[in-house]
Amino acid sequence: MKKIILYLVIALFKIGLASAQIKGTINYKLTINDGALLKPRIENFTLYFFKSSSIELPSNVPSQITEGDIIEGEGNKGEGNKVYIISRPTFVYKNFSDGNLLLSDQIGFKRYLIKDTLLNFKWVISKEKSKILNFNCTKATVNFRGRKYVAWYTDDVPLQNGPWKFCGLPGLIVKIYDDKAIYTYELNGINLKDDFRYNILKVPNAYSKDKAISHSRFMSMYKKKLEENVKLSKVVLTGKNGGSSTSSMILPQKIERL
């Protein structure tokens, strides 16, 4: 009897989500284990969604802010733990009504506005099931721009969305990782009644004067900068005391290789 009641509750929950104009937030933790540091790096993101659009922002950038506000947390400026909101935040904006995706990414210290498409994923859904965070999840796999990924999604929450660019599965992505376990996204919070400002669901104003470049153009620029750095690392710099050294700027690898 308890199982029947539980199934009815889940079914009603799904119907409610499917018929309502859902508004809420989803929190994801990204663990990067690329060997750049002695231990994995952890980054946290919040996905804000309503109707046919969503935006992902770093979790230390709250939705109720204006540029220049001072908040608690880590950042580039400030004294102690008081920092200024960076004027050009990293973000991933998805517009499911037109299939477009806009995001920011950087090469060195410069951030770019990049245009991509949401129609990039050719998921292969398996019959394998698992319970993750009390969600009934199904396994799916995909090859995407140089990496193989394993995703676990739940149709308990029928949102065809997920962290970063990932989307297009029949339900919310709860966990996704590449087959080398370098990048792992994990859901660690969901609020289907979050009262954030609707005007956050757009490209941040700081990018309003930028002309978006394609993903292929961005990757071409990134690879060119990598080549320049390799050449620079071969240059011997002679110091005042007769010593020598090499100098180069190390660029972190991108999640996409192609």
DSSP one-letter string for 182-237: SEEEEEEEEETT----GGGSS--GGGTTPPPEEHHHHHHHHHHHHHHHHHHHTPPE
In a domain, residue 80? The reply is yes
In a domain, residue 16? The reply is yes
| pLDDT attached to residue 210 | 96
144 — phi, psi (to 5°)? -135, 110
In a domain, residue 93? The reply is yes
94 class by beta-carbon count within 10 Å (0-12 exposed, 13-18 middle, 19+ buried): buried
Question: What CATH number does residue 41 fall under?
Answer: 2.50.20
Tens of pLDDT, residues 3-33: 333 333 333 334 334 434 579 999 999 999 9
| pLDDT attached to residue 68 | 41
Is residue 42 over pLDDT 50? Answer: yes
Query: What residue has token string 């721009």?
Result: 145
Alpha helix segments (H runs only) across 20-115: none
Average of per-residue pLDDT values in the chain? 81
Please give the tally of structural domains in the chain.
1
In a domain, residue 42? The reply is yes
In a domain, residue 60? The reply is yes
Residue 17: give the domain boundaries: 2-215
Q: What is the pTM of this model?
A: 0.79
In a domain, residue 64? The reply is yes
| pLDDT attached to residue 241 | 54
Of 69-78, 131-140, 190-199, give the lowest mean pLDDT range. Answer: 69-78
| pLDDT attached to residue 87 | 67
In a domain, residue 206? The reply is yes
In a domain, residue 243? The reply is no
Tens of pLDDT, residues 161-186: 999 999 999 999 999 999 999 999 99
